[in-house]
Chains A and B, each alone.
Chain A
């Protein structure tokens, strides 16, 4: 038996469930107990997850903390957990947001506290479960389980249109997951046919990539499309995004934060974990279409965000735009693009969550989200204005803050793969600055109305839950190296899974460059130029 501290991911995942069970037995009346109890469990969960950062072996791109036990042997299902660097950063993001969403709900939630906090804890359990699982069956289970608490969070504590939004969210994502299930089953039966063995582990699914590559063309494309749809809806990519603004607008602040911060990352995580390694051939073939959709999302999301009158809707559409950029990076299929895409997931989780909290704070005070209702707030709420400004800058990718690093890496990866798409994507980034700063200007500057002049600045609790987000934004922006170190090995592994020869080609050109350098002094310049021309196609990856 492994000592418990070597099996931390499991404990981190199940602690919130334990919390939910505990709260289940607390009598209904004691509101404070639920608030503090949920906070205690989520904070403990966050603290418990921190050692993972140090335990993680940065040179190993594979699964660490692996643990598995038989579950349903007849169909090859195991209870199997473990994480690599990509899962690790997302798990840490989840535990970080976990206690923040509990904390921000203290005053916002005024009814049915018991259920509310239980659902929040169950939500966290299921999200963490997705990140640590190493078994397809178990993955699907957690994936679907996530929907249930989110459905209730929106449908019970949501705004006026909550039922419409909740059902829309549920049906949309369910449609996607069912397609994904079909894809999973297709691979499962293919595997049964080829190897005669029933194995549901993710590793064995990824190992099927070679077999899949020899199946019929139609099979490969359909498989890729099924995965793509399942994840694209969750991301959401244009044109599968319309559930998102509704869900965001109707959800309580905590719901929006979880939705933007973690739930949307499930889609991008799915791409990284399944579509790219399992069906790289078909993905490469479909890449131009995927990238185009991602690009449309970037620009379209930004354009639509610009004309929104409701703050939350504006931030929701900005998510469509930012995640489009994230997908653009991932589909570039080279290390820079993929690293950038993963960073963008994390950055979006930090800055957009903060923006939803920011909207939530003034909503709590004024009960309106219409931008036109505000103005001049920086006069009466200087602290709030500062936090808002920093997060706005982080969201539009100002260097020195987190957003920039991701954006820069994505653009670089995309530029290698498809220069013109990268150039076009910058339009979305310019528009991004436009709608965010315009929002900031309309809400925070200008003359102030009498009602707004009475609004109170941030209180201690509110400051407290912004501090970790601000710290993360500055840390990633100023010194991203430790984070990039964590991602380096798993990204390299992923790139090898997509293009086994990728690094060989790069090494080769590197070698040529070295050779050119040695003899550079007397060497005519054209040789240098040739090296680059040869290097180009290898970067493309999609030819």
Chain B
């Protein structure tokens, strides 16, 4: 098994190398075959390893290949780990990844940079699998930064434009801030545990109890969380994700919805026992997640770009996941990662299908009435929308309600925030559906040319729709007669290294669970209905609202002006500081006063004394006479 396990990440890397070196000459068909083949085989191998891990001792296979680096006291092996957490994530990455590769074939076929696109996409899968499977934090970090690089390249895929590369740069920099947080977290973990291999850290952490944790550990987990906020677009580092929609839509689906942006949650789950030792951090995680969930959902209410709505929805849903983690429901948080991967990838691909069908029209106000024209896209998106709003029985319902329930146990205030966010979600999703698929077409030219997408695109939509519906089966809660299977499944990963596994204490009651569930279903359904009724008739209602509440509408549709704030209060001062520093220190103080001034003084003094060298004997004689007199006066005085 160890002999083939390494192929899982390496195959997509080989694919990327092929596209990069030979892709242009080999032609689109060869590129397609290699791209799909490598990711497909990775998926199959992941399945094999999934079952192998299931059968292994402690549900865990730990493969070390060689010693990677040794600096001073730090020793890092190059190893892969297969346990429930990592294999589920690897399956999501390679499985949904393969579907999106297939979808991309249709979506990108006309593009000139076809090989370049698949080079980046395969490379992304490689780095993402490295992130997921890496057995040590440095190796995980290689994947972590690598997916950032691929995200940068893919967001800026349309290189001739100005906005796409700028969005890529923004994504990279916001991630960079988070990544350095993570670096600091690793330093602190190393200072505490003397190792950066995840298993060793967990074993050592397992023997600690929360009371004795020193500040270093809280610092470490907080810094890790900073890393997570960067990658998973949480307050305050969420700004890059909406801009990242400048990339091709399949990229938004794979990287910026289903996989990469959830790696922050994955990281925290990976280190769950350490986070459990630091309740302060967990509280910070919960509140950051909750506030992000609501904040991003309110921004999503009035966006006109279909992808922007989905982007803010992603930020918001990621917030829910962190809310779940912060409430110490690691399994619940990760469950939402799993279900969200299906329905959000589906939503993005559906949106991509709409955009493709309308020849790159992304403005919801210019769509309308597409229901009949694009039936497969329409029905699959309805399924996804029901999932994300949490319609009873769908996957989103189970995962979101579990999180809200845990949030209530942590603090009722968090529950209220989460509920409000869910209300907004239901509203803006049905607004989107109403505007796109119902009502009268508002741009007749585009509508007349609209067409359903080719099978390479609708096929993945159908598969994802089935997945979105079934994903919930893994986590049917106890009150519904299930036993929240995913929790038991993930337990070996989430409690690894613990000296004794405490029996999960049952809080709350069935009545409470039913009550909360009923309330959130009621609220979400009400908002969904409102959104649908208002917007299936067209845009008139929103325009009227904008006239009645201009300030509120402008603040929301301009995303609270946060981007402008960052530009004014952070970027501009940094540039100003750079200019000031350069002019003041380099140009004026160091070079001017320190270097050139003494130089000038020397030269002037030289010029002045040079004047005495006149070459006339009488001047020298006069000088000599004066000198002699001076000496005589000094000595004979």
Chain A interface (Cβ < 8 Å from any Cβ of B): 168, 172, 239, 242, 245, 300, 303-307, 334-336, 339-340, 376, 378-379, 386, 393, 398-400, 404-405, 408-409, 411-413, 415-416, 419, 422-423, 426, 429-431, 433-434, 437-438, 441, 444-448, 479-481, 484-485, 488, 491, 506, 513, 520-521, 523, 525-526, 528-529, 532-533, 536, 539
Q: Which 4 A-B pairs have the closest CB atoms?
A: A335-B72, A445-B165, A336-B72, A303-B578
With both beta carbons as reference points, the residue of chain A lying nearest to B177 in the complex is identified as A430
Do A437 and B169 have beta carbons less than 8 Å apart? yes
Do B71 and A447 have beta carbons less than 8 Å apart? no
Do B187 and A422 have beta carbons less than 8 Å apart? yes
A492 to chain B, nearest CB (A): 9
19 contacts between A and B (CB under 8 A): A239-B590, A242-B594, A303-B578, A339-B72, A399-B144, A399-B145, A408-B71, A426-B180, A430-B176, A438-B169, A445-B165, A484-B70, A484-B71, A506-B73, A523-B207, A525-B209, A525-B212, A526-B212, A539-B191
Chain B residues whose C-beta falls within 8 Å of the C-beta of A433 in the assembled complex: 172-173, 176
Do A339 and B591 have beta carbons less than 8 Å apart? no
Do B187 and A307 have beta carbons less than 8 Å apart? no
- Cα A466 to Cα B71 with chains together (Å): 28
B135 to chain A, nearest CB (A): 15
Do B160 and A447 have beta carbons less than 8 Å apart? yes
Beyond the given A245-B586, A438-B169, please list 12 additional residue pairs across the A-B interface where CB-CB is below 8 A.
Answer: A242-B595, A304-B578, A304-B581, A335-B73, A411-B187, A433-B176, A445-B165, A480-B68, A481-B67, A513-B194, A528-B207, A539-B191
With both beta carbons as reference points, the residue of chain A lying nearest to B159 in the complex is identified as A445
Q: Which of A339, A404, A447, A525 contacts B208 (CB 8 A)?
A: A525
Do B585 and A441 have beta carbons less than 8 Å apart? no
- Cα A413 to Cα B72 with chains together (Å): 9
Chain A residues whose C-beta falls within 8 Å of the C-beta of B586 in the assembled complex: 242, 245, 304
- Cα A441 to Cα B187 with chains together (Å): 32
Do B160 and A307 have beta carbons less than 8 Å apart? no
- Cα A480 to Cα B142 with chains together (Å): 14
Q: Which of B71, B144, B204 contacts A336 (CB 8 A)?
A: B71
Q: Which of B69, B162, B183 contacts A426 (CB 8 A)?
A: B183
Do A481 and B214 have beta carbons less than 8 Å apart? no
Do B160 and A399 have beta carbons less than 8 Å apart? no
Chain A residues whose C-beta falls within 8 Å of the C-beta of B585 in the assembled complex: 239, 300
Q: Which of A242, A431, A446, A484 contacts B159 (CB 8 A)?
A: A446
Do A376 and B160 have beta carbons less than 8 Å apart? yes
Chain B interface (Cβ < 8 Å from any Cβ of A): 20, 67-74, 138, 141-142, 144-146, 149, 152, 156, 159-162, 164-166, 168-169, 172-173, 176-177, 180, 183-184, 187-188, 190-192, 194, 204, 207-209, 212, 214, 216, 499, 574-575, 577-579, 581-582, 585-586, 589-591, 594-595
Total A-B pairs, Cβ < 8 A: 163
User: If the complex has contacts A422-B187, A446-B165, are A408 and B138 also in contact, measured as CB distance less than 8 A?
Assistant: yes
Do B149 and A398 have beta carbons less than 8 Å apart? yes
- Cα A202 to Cα B591 with chains together (Å): 35
Do A242 and B590 have beta carbons less than 8 Å apart? yes
Q: Which of B67, B142, B169, B216 contacts A400 (CB 8 A)?
A: B142
User: If the complex has contacts A306-B574, A481-B69, A484-B70, are A379 and B160 also in contact, measured as CB distance less than 8 A?
Assistant: yes
Do B149 and A393 have beta carbons less than 8 Å apart? yes
Do A300 and B208 have beta carbons less than 8 Å apart? no
Do A405 and B577 have beta carbons less than 8 Å apart? no
A272 to chain B, nearest CB (A): 15
With both beta carbons as reference points, the residue of chain A lying nearest to B589 in the complex is identified as A239
Chain A residues whose C-beta falls within 8 Å of the C-beta of B216 in the assembled complex: 532
Do A447 and B162 have beta carbons less than 8 Å apart? yes
With both beta carbons as reference points, the residue of chain A lying nearest to B24 in the complex is identified as A382
- Cα A485 to Cα B144 with chains together (Å): 27
Do A528 and B159 have beta carbons less than 8 Å apart? no
User: If the complex has contacts A242-B591, A335-B73, A379-B159, are A412 and B169 also in contact, measured as CB distance less than 8 A?
Assistant: no
Chain B residues whose C-beta falls within 8 Å of the C-beta of A399 in the assembled complex: 138, 141-142, 144-146
Chain B residues whose C-beta falls within 8 Å of the C-beta of A379 in the assembled complex: 159-160
- Cα A300 to Cα B214 with chains together (Å): 34
Point out which of A386, A506, A529 has the most chain B C-beta atoms below 10 A from its C-beta.
A529
A346 to chain B, nearest CB (A): 13
Q: Which of A408, A437, A529 contacts B183 (CB 8 A)?
A: A408
B119 to chain A, nearest CB (A): 10
User: If the complex has contacts A306-B578, A399-B145, A481-B69, are A441 and B212 also in contact, measured as CB distance less than 8 A?
Assistant: no
Chain B contact residues, majority secondary structure: helix
- Cα A504 to Cα B194 with chains together (Å): 17
Chain A residues whose C-beta falls within 8 Å of the C-beta of B172 in the assembled complex: 433, 437
- Cα A498 to Cα B250 with chains together (Å): 56
Chain A residues whose C-beta falls within 8 Å of the C-beta of B73 in the assembled complex: 335-336, 506
Chain A residues whose C-beta falls within 8 Å of the C-beta of B159 in the assembled complex: 376, 378-379, 444-446
With both beta carbons as reference points, the residue of chain B lying nearest to A304 in the complex is identified as B582
User: If the complex has contacts A399-B146, A415-B191, A480-B69, are A307 and B579 also in contact, measured as CB distance less than 8 A?
Assistant: yes
Do A529 and B591 have beta carbons less than 8 Å apart? no
Do A400 and B183 have beta carbons less than 8 Å apart? no
Do B138 and A307 have beta carbons less than 8 Å apart? no
- Cα A532 to Cα B192 with chains together (Å): 7
User: If the complex has contacts A307-B575, A400-B142, A445-B165, are A340 and B582 also in contact, measured as CB distance less than 8 A?
Assistant: no
User: If the complex has contacts A335-B72, A376-B160, A412-B71, are A307 and B207 also in contact, measured as CB distance less than 8 A?
Assistant: no
A387 to chain B, nearest CB (A): 12
User: If the complex has contacts A379-B160, A437-B173, A481-B69, are A423 and B575 also in contact, measured as CB distance less than 8 A?
Assistant: no
Chain B residues whose C-beta falls within 8 Å of the C-beta of A485 in the assembled complex: 70
Q: Which of A242, A413, A423 contacts B184 (CB 8 A)?
A: A423
Chain A residues whose C-beta falls within 8 Å of the C-beta of B138 in the assembled complex: 399, 408
Chain B residues whose C-beta falls within 8 Å of the C-beta of A404 in the assembled complex: 145
With both beta carbons as reference points, the residue of chain A lying nearest to B577 in the complex is identified as A303
Q: Which of B69, B176, B187, B214 contacts A484 (CB 8 A)?
A: B69
Do B156 and A445 have beta carbons less than 8 Å apart? yes
Chain B residues whose C-beta falls within 8 Å of the C-beta of A525 in the assembled complex: 207-209, 212
Chain A residues whose C-beta falls within 8 Å of the C-beta of B579 in the assembled complex: 307
Q: Which of A303, A423, A448, A481 contacts B70 (CB 8 A)?
A: A481
- Cα A215 to Cα B594 with chains together (Å): 33
A104 to chain B, nearest CB (A): 24
- Cα A121 to Cα B141 with chains together (Å): 42
Chain B residues whose C-beta falls within 8 Å of the C-beta of A445 in the assembled complex: 156, 159-160, 164-165
Chain A residues whose C-beta falls within 8 Å of the C-beta of B71 in the assembled complex: 335-336, 339-340, 405, 408-409, 412, 484
With both beta carbons as reference points, the residue of chain B lying nearest to A433 in the complex is identified as B176
With both beta carbons as reference points, the residue of chain B lying nearest to A168 in the complex is identified as B595
Chain A residues whose C-beta falls within 8 Å of the C-beta of B594 in the assembled complex: 239, 242
- Cα A192 to Cα B509 with chains together (Å): 87
- Cα A305 to Cα B574 with chains together (Å): 12
Do B72 and A430 have beta carbons less than 8 Å apart? no
Chain B residues whose C-beta falls within 8 Å of the C-beta of A242 in the assembled complex: 586, 590-591, 594-595
Do B214 and A446 have beta carbons less than 8 Å apart? no
- Cα A536 to Cα B190 with chains together (Å): 12
- Cα A339 to Cα B212 with chains together (Å): 33
Chain B residues whose C-beta falls within 8 Å of the C-beta of A336 in the assembled complex: 71-74
Chain B residues whose C-beta falls within 8 Å of the C-beta of A172 in the assembled complex: 595
- Cα A525 to Cα B500 with chains together (Å): 14
Q: Which of A441, A484, A532, A539 contacts B165 (CB 8 A)?
A: A441
- Cα A334 to Cα B190 with chains together (Å): 15
User: If the complex has contacts A399-B146, A445-B159, are A409 and B72 also in contact, measured as CB distance less than 8 A?
Assistant: yes
Chain A residues whose C-beta falls within 8 Å of the C-beta of B144 in the assembled complex: 399
- Cα A536 to Cα B191 with chains together (Å): 8
